[in-house]
Amino acid sequence: MKELLEDNSSIRPAQVGTIVEGKIIGRARSTAFLDLGPLGAGIIYGKEFQEAKDELKHLKTGDMVLAKIIDLENEEGYVELSLNQASNELIWERLAEKKEKEETITVKISGANKGGLLAEVSGIPAFLPVSQLLAEHYPKVEKGDAVKILKELQVFTGSEMEVKIFDLDPRQGKLILSEKAKENEKTKELIKKYSVGDVVEGEITGITDFGVFIKFPISSDKDEPKLEGLIHISELDWKLIENTNDVVKAGETVSAKIISIANDKISLSLKALKKDPWLEIENTYKKGSVIEGEVTKFNPYGAFVQIISDNEEISPKIQGLCHISEFGTKAKMESSLEIGKKYKFQILSIDTKEHRMSLKME
């Protein structure tokens, strides 16, 4: 039989892994026999029977089924078959077709972990990463707290979502879904209406430790499509921001300038609409000037110093750096300076384009 299947060119080629169609012709204990036509008789038994028993119990003699060849000839001369493996392979083929056609499918969320949501597609476990959620479903959690992220995601358990297949690998059993992929075309068309430099009005929809999310354009029409962009914490103001909540509040309406559009991601800035204080300092201080400053924080490079000035355009928006080399070691720096205290410093250099000022203690 094995030689006949491998060598007879007049019969459809068959090999281990081929999916074939056969007719149920008989049963025995934990065994099903199939007529494979020119290929001879097939058998489903043992582990393969147990894995497919729920499906097999609904089949009767004469029914046609698809099965996968796992051995061209076993010890009894039968072509050994797997119903379960054939089903899985066909499911993966259908999933690959859906991905290629970019079909939208509906899934029910069965659970969550800190990385995303869990679901099933045709019995195959699937994963929907946080990064592939729509903006309104993205967990905007301060400081990226894993416990809070998981709590936000668990809200979706039991709900249905429309998604597309983002990636799949049958060999690894990997099936990755994307909720925002179905919005990509709509988003791309909407983004075309905007350019870098445009000023938009939007609503603050989320606040995190790294920045804030803004949805725009503002409209009373709930059905009007909207974009969501990110204002990084460094773009909130010219002064150093430690807490994003000090600058904006969720639900607040603000105007922001688009500073980047890349890979369908929009970056915006609040400080770009404010006067650059570094333009003012160029007219006020020169290299060698002695200024008063308040130490705000230490880092491995030195101490940050907030310039104290009667000019509101300068104070408290500009900070200089007293480099650690001025002290020798971090320990000496921290013994010489105290956060929150004011000292006299001499300006060693000013670079207004790079927004940098180097200082040394007087």
Provide the pLDDT for residue 131.
84
Q: How many domains does the chain have?
A: 4
Q: Is residue 93 part of a domain?
A: no
Domain termination site, one of 88, 115, 145: 88
Distance of CA 121 to the CA centre of its chain: 20
pLDDT tier at 224, thresholds 50, 70, 90: low
Q: What is the mean pLDDT of the chain?
A: 86
C-alpha 361, offset from chain centre? 46
Pairing assessment for the beta strands 319-323 and 302-308 based on DSSP bridges: antiparallel
Instruction: Verify that 21 and 83 share a domain, yes or no.
Output: yes
Give tens-digit pLDDT for 4-14.
344 433 344 57
State pTM to two decimals.
Answer: 0.53
CB-based contacts of 353: which residues, under 8 Å, 6+ apart?
none
**96 within some domain:** no
Query: Domain check: are 221 and 297 in the same one?
Result: no
Is 97 among the domain residues? no
Asked if the structure places residue 188 within a domain, the reply is no
Cα–Cα distance for residue pair 27/59, rounded to 1 Å: 11
Query: 240: domain CATH number?
Result: 2.40.50.140
Q: What is the DSSP string of 271-295?
A: GGGS--HHHHHHHH--TT-EEEEEE
**pLDDT band (50, 70, 90) for residue 3:** very low
What are the distances in angstroms from CA 227 to CA 161, 231, 233?
20, 13, 19
> What residues are paired with 129 via a beta bridge?
116
pLDDT for the residue 126: 94
pLDDT digits (tens, 9 = 90+) for 296-325: 999 889 999 998 888 777 777 788 999 999
Domain that holds residue 224: 193-273
Task: Tell me: do 174 and 199 sit in the same domain.
Answer: no
Tokens describing residue 312: 């509101």
Confidence check: pLDDT of 75 > 90: no
The residue ranking higher by pLDDT, 258 or 240, is 258
pLDDT value at 359 more than 90: yes
Q: Do 59 and 15 belong together in one domain?
A: yes
Asked if 232 and 213 sit in the same domain, the reply is yes
- The confidence score (pLDDT) of residue 119 equals 94
9 and 61 share one domain: yes
Tokens, residue 182: 């179905």
Between CA 162 and CA 167 the distance in angstroms is 16
d(CA 25, CA 150): 52
Please indicate, yes or no, whether residues 10 and 83 belong to a single structural domain of this protein: yes
Of 357 and 185, more confident: 357
Is residue 67 assigned to a domain?
yes
Question: Which are the contacts of 59, defined by CB distance < 8 A and separation ≥ 6?
Answer: 24, 32, 65
